[in-house]
Structure 1
Amino acid sequence: MSVSRPETTPLGTGTGKLVTPGADGASLGDLDPRAVVRLLAEAGHVVLRGFRPSVEEFSLFVKNHSDRVTLDPARSFHGGDVAQKVDAGTDAVGLHLENGNSPFGPDLTWFLCEKAASHGSQTTVCDGYRVWDAAEEADRAAFAQDITYARRVEEAKWKQFVSHQTGGAKPLEDITFEDFRALVESAPDGRASTTLVQLEDGSAHYTYRTGAAHATLFGERLSWANSVFGPSYNYERPVIAFADGSPLGEELTARMKRLTDRLTEDIEWQDGDVALIDNTRVMHGRRAITDTRRTIYNAQSYVRRDLLASL
């Protein structure tokens, strides 16, 4: 995978992979981005252990694999303009795709564990390929129809998001709702998938339509990967329904919850671990935090297209 010969071994019960520096003691910067992306395409999620990067080194590693880095406007940056500290209380967090309930879902989700918990507090992962393959035929038929997420976003948050996504082209106070609309329409399928309305208080209400099961970054195979069970710690909880307006239904949702619970794996963090997740295939969440010294940073990005082309 690089000149320093890191070692790759299985991680968990699925296709995840663990990468360690090996005898030659590779640094994170020694890893070949093409090999990293090739491994991710196979594994769905990868944990890099023993490299122990600083936040700044982690941020550079993210940039080296990405055409563009995005953000959560409710989080603060650390060590530059890439890493954001994960701050979502201490309760368990349901499985979700990062920004999966909006047209701005990134290709890749990254984590850096600066300080691991002494007990509990694991990040969870669930491979949507495995979910779709194991789902009952009737449930796969139900999710042949798209789903929708609908919710309100405060004015300050959508303006901050527009500012970051457009590289600060305008002062924050000069950003308009039409700038936000243009950004939404520039997202992949944004014009077709998203209805956007400005409310009297300046906030935005959107309805985003997408597949609960869909193709992924690396191929046409269907993955049941979505934010049906996802959190809303910093935002209003979205209303989730089928595209025809009908509710998902308690029985269907409960079956999918049991199935995803059965297929969910834990990332047992160690200090300095880095995790890379295919955000189009693998959902992630969190067990309840039982050790508040745990410190995790998150980044979101769009993979370099030349790396995809090299696969």
Structure 2
Amino acid sequence: MGVEQNWNPAEIGPADAGTEATPDGLTEYLKGLNHDLGELLTREKALVFRGFHVTPDTLGAVYDLLLPNRLAYVHGNSPRTKVGQNVYTSTEYPQEFTISMHNEMSYAHAWPARLAFYCETAPETGGATPLVDGARWLASLDPELREAFAGGVRYLQNLHDGYGFGKSWQQTFETDSREDVEAFLAGTEAVWEWRKDGGLRVAQLRPATTRHPVTGAEVWFNQADQWHPAGLGDDTAARLAAVLAPEDLPQSVTLADGSPIPAEWVEQIRDRGLAAAVDVDWHRGDVLLIDNLLVGHGRRPFTGPRRVLVAMSD
């Protein structure tokens, strides 16, 4: 499959679906698709359902059809709030910052195949969700960088016990049980240790790219730029470096052999992903479904209140 230079997500409204402009109209359309939804999503990579006036009360029925097996955000590293049955707020970083492109949980042993976003409150300005074709993102990177990443990347997490930088291990794994955490990690090929201060250190070796199981497309599929101190900006990285050794940062990343990743490579990954992205602007009631392997996502800065909910499935 070639790299699509002018890719955009497919927008589906009531007229396209041949149904009424209501949440019931959307659910009728989705029920009619049945197994064809997966084929449609694989072909289009992302679908925007707009004009059906989905409300928080009707979202559950829509998500049940889009995401038949909703997953908990276990081992997720982004700050979120759980608001329903495996439904969460989208990443709660300050609204003035851009969130760079990434595939959800691409650093983990298992990741969701689909993500669905719902706009409950649209921002006053900005706040789009940019989407990037993962094959195009990969092709945009310099050959030297792609070659260095061919062996994969090594992620390191330091999760505190309730007080410290970043997320606690209890928040990350949605449990207070060490036994449950160990049972989860035992099936992930991760290496971990409990620290004397009650925290948890987790190291994982993961691939930098992957291939889609249906299309065979090879895509950039890692979060090296988000886990690297250079991705935090010079001021934040300098403040953290002043108080923490590199191996004690809440999260960090190296190449597979432990070699450091140059800051200029981190900036290239971040900037070229954003440059290749197309923005999905939000209107209240919109629903966005994406193939999490074929498409990376992020967030543009915004003003005013913005509430976008997300759920995921295998």
TM-score range, shorter chain: 0.7 to 0.9
How far apart, CA to CA, are the structure 1 residues paired with 2:271 and 2:85?
A: 38
Change in Cα spacing, 1:254 to 1:160, as seen in structure 2 (3 Å) is closer
Q: 2: CA distance between counterparts of 1:264 and 1:131?
A: 9
Query: Which residue of 169, 173, 178 corresponds with 1:158?
Result: 169
SS at match of 1:18: strand
Q: CA offsets per residue over residues 121-149 of structure 1, 9 Å max, x none? A: 21111111112234333333222120111
**Structure 2 residue aligned with 1:206, among 196, 202, 208?**
202
Q: Residues 268 and 243 from structure 1, CA distance in 2 versus in 1: closer, same or farther, beyond 3 angstroms? A: same
Deviations 1:131-176 (A, max 9, x none): 223433333322212011111123464345545xxxxxxxx55x22
> Are residues 29 and 151 of structure 1, via their aligned partners in 2, closer, same or farther at CA, if it must alter by over 3 Å?
same
1:263 CA displacement: 0.6
Q: Any idea what SS the aligned residue of 2:183 has?
A: helix
User: Given the two structures, how large is their TM-score scaled by the length of structure 2?
Assistant: 0.77
Identity of aligned residues (%): 23
2:137 corresponds in structure 1 to 131
Q: Distance in 2 between matches of 1:217 and 1:113?
A: 29
Query: What are the within-5 Å matches in structure 2 for residues 228-307 of structure 1?
Result: 228-230=224-226, 237-289=250-302, 291-302=303-314
Distance 1:300 1:138, change over 3 A: same
Q: CA RMSD in A?
A: 2.6
CA distance in 2, matches of 1:229, 1:127: 17
1:102 equivalent in alignment to 2:115: no
Structure-2 separation of matches of 1:122 and 1:60: 25
Which structure 1 residue ranges, 4+ long, deviate > 6 Å from structure 2?
none
Paired with 1:204 and 1:300, the residues of 2 have a C-alpha distance of: 26
1:309 is matched with which residue? none
Q: Deviations over 1:176-230 (max 9, x none)?
A: 2x321221233xxx12xx2111112222111122112111353432101222233
**Equivalent runs, 1:114-129 vs 2, <5 Å:** 114-129=120-135
Amino acid at match of 1:275: L
Aligned equivalents of 1:227 and 1:55: distance in 2?
31
Q: Which consecutive residues of structure 1, in runs of 5 or more, have no partner in the other structure?
A: 1-11, 164-171, 303-311
> Aligned partners of 1:60, 1:209: CA distance in 2, in Å?
38
TM-score by length of 1: 0.77
2:118 aligned to 97, 112, 117, which one?
112
Partner Cα distance (1:138, 1:273) in 2: 40
